[in-house]
């Protein structure tokens, strides 16, 4: 089905309250830790994202074969979880998932005593997992690998016979996600030492705990973008915490450069125009916040602010190659982006002829849909496959309808 959504947003309507979705990243970790602690408690305020729903379905199931669709986090976390869970398991996904590499995680698990086989293409799902006790030990991983591989290994490490020591080689990307995992493990009673480039986890036992998931800062980023582009109004974003597990809370500080003020209250944050001069050129290393890059690329272009982003190595192995996707789709709006070097994206102010009545492709990527939606403040815009947002923010279009031209 070739679905599409035509958007026209009214900047004069920006005085709204938004109940943000719960953090997908925290929800998915909480489900694994809850299961590992054999907890009698349900996780409170779970995300209703596709990834989280898939994991809930797996944990509620008596099956041994699981289809996780396009849920990349679920594929990685569950592969590790099943590797230490006695039984014979199979895990598969969508066609796109069958082309997303998983060899690094599988090799690491097999090195630590797991028995995982590829059922089709070498290095990719679907997988056959023969779950059993893991010996553990020491492994080395490139620091630039997906932090989800590292987190998946960390969470099961306390139950490895010899514990686990991971040496991360080179520059560590997405470090806040590793720290998120470390802090959440501590909430469930397990100590993980992360000093320098070494993660060291001794054999331990998790303790059941009551846990409530905070709202999602990456979901907040699209409302920051809207406020920044409109240059006026006020939005109350509910459920966000100042002392957050999420690295993406950096969005509040970064959008100060693009004209947005953040004030915390007991329910979350209130954002409004800060009426300060905006940065003439935006330069930032997104190594620790890669999921914010699309939001800032669209924001900077539409505000005519040249930019150079670095630390984007992981964007090529997300739901799509996000660097290529941004170059293609911002080209339709008349902006010529380029890739100065590996892991970088830039715009120097060069323009091209914009497409009339642009149709934005989303590449099965929820963040492409949501990052481009605010562009409809300037012109009518069609978003292809708007349903992709269910991956992280199922209520996004309903929330955005508060700003639509009637």
Same domain for 156 and 87, yes or no, is: yes
Instruction: Tell me what pLDDT residue 1 has.
Output: 46
Beta pairing partners, 18: 237
Give the span between the Cα atoms of 24 and 228, in whole angstroms: 25
The CA distances from residue 282 to 92, 278, 309, in Å, are 41, 9, 8
The verdict on residue 69 lying in a domain is: yes
Same domain for 11 and 69, yes or no, is: no
Which residue, 139, 173, 201, sits at the end of a domain? 201
Handedness of CA 27, 386, 377, 355 (dihedral sign): positive
Same domain for 256 and 178, yes or no, is: no
Contact 240, 217 (CB under 8 A): yes
Handedness of CA 55, 58, 59, 60 (dihedral sign): positive
Same domain for 183 and 228, yes or no, is: no
Residues taking part in catalysis: 291
The verdict on residue 207 lying in a domain is: no
Same domain for 55 and 161, yes or no, is: yes
Same domain for 157 and 234, yes or no, is: no
Which residue, 201, 223, 243, sits at the end of a domain? 201
Residue 22 DSSP symbol: B
Same domain for 315 and 341, yes or no, is: yes
Same domain for 117 and 15, yes or no, is: no
Number of residues that make up the chain: 406
The verdict on residue 92 lying in a domain is: yes
Which CATH number does the domain housing residue 236 bear? Answer: 3.65.10.10
Residue 15 domain boundaries: 4-21+215-403
Give the span between the Cα atoms of 255 and 221, in whole angstroms: 9
Give the span between the Cα atoms of 255 and 15, in whole angstroms: 18
Contact 137, 162 (CB under 8 A): yes
The verdict on residue 156 lying in a domain is: yes
Backbone angles phi, psi at 164, to 5 degrees: -150, 135
List of residues 6+ apart from 15 with CB closer than 8 A? 233, 234, 235
Same domain for 233 and 343, yes or no, is: yes
Consecutive 10-residue averages of pLDDT for the chain (406 residues): 84 95 96 97 93 94 94 95 98 94 97 98 97 97 92 98 97 89 98 97 98 96 98 96 93 97 96 92 94 97 97 77 95 97 96 96 94 95 95 93 88
Which residue, 201, 226, 249, sits at the end of a domain? 201
The verdict on residue 209 lying in a domain is: no
pTM, two decimal places: 0.87
Determine which helix (DSSP H) or strand (DSSP E) holds 328, and give its type and residue range: helix 322-332
Same domain for 167 and 273, yes or no, is: no
Q: How many domains does the chain have?
A: 2
Determine which helix (DSSP H) or strand (DSSP E) holds 137, and give its type and residue range: strand 137-142
The verdict on residue 93 lying in a domain is: yes
The verdict on residue 210 lying in a domain is: no
Same domain for 187 and 257, yes or no, is: no
The verdict on residue 94 lying in a domain is: yes
Same domain for 11 and 51, yes or no, is: no
Q: Mark out the alpha helices in 144-264 (DSSP H runs).
A: 147-156, 175-187, 217-230, 251-255
Instruction: Tell me what pLDDT residue 318 has.
Output: 65
Tokens 């986090």 correspond to 73
């Amino acid at each position: 089905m070739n679905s599409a959504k035509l958007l026209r947003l009214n900047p004069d309507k920006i005085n709204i309250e938004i109940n943000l979705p719960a953090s997908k990243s925290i929800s998915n970790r909480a489900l694994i830790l809850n299961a590992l602690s054999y907890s009698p408690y349900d996780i409170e305020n779970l995300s209703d994202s596709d990834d989280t729903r898939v994991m809930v379905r797996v944990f509620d199931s008596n099956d041994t074969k699981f289809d996780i669709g396009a849920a990349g986090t679920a594929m990685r976390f569950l592969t590790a979880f099943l590797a230490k869970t006695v039984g014979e398991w199979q895990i598969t996904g969508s066609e796109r998932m069958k082309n997303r590499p998983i060899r690094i995680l599988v090799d690491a698990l097999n090195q630590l005593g797991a028995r995982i086989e590829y059922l089709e293409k070498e290095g990719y799902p679907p997988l056959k997992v023969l779950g059993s006790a893991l010996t553990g030990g020491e492994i080395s991983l490139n620091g630039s690998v997906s932090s989800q591989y590292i987190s998946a290994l960390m969470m099961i490490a306390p139950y490895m016979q010899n514990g686990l020591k991971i040496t991360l080689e080179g520059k560590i990307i997405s470090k806040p996600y590793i720290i998120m995992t470390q802090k959440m493990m501590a909430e469930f009673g397990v100590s993980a030492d992360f000093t320098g480039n070494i993660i060291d986890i001794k054999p331990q036992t998790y303790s059941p705990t009551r846990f409530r998931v905070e709202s999602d800062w990456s979901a907040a980023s699209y409302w920051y973008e809207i406020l920044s582009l409109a240059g006026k109004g006020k939005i109350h974003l509910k459920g966000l915490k100042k002392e957050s597990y999420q690295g993406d809370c950096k969005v509040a500080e970064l959008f100060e450069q693009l004209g947005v003020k953040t004030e915390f209250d007991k329910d979350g944050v209130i954002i409004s125009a800060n009426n300060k001069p905006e940065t003439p050129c935006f330069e930032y290393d997104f190594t620790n916040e890669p999921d914010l890059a699309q939001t800032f690329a669209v924001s900077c272009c539409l505000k005519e602010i040249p930019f150079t982003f670095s630390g984007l190595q992981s964007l090529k192995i997300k739901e799509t190659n996000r660097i290529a996707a941004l170059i293609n789709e911002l080209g339709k709006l008349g902006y010529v982006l380029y890739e100065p070097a590996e892991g970088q994206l830039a715009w120097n102010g060069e323009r091209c002829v914009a497409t009339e009545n642009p149709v934005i492709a989303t590449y099965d990527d929820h963040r492409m849909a949501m990052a481009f939606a605010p562009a409809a403040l300037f012109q009518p815009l069609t978003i292809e496959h708007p349903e992709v947002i269910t991956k992280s923010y199922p209520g996004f279009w309903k929330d955005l309808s508060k700003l639509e031209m009637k």
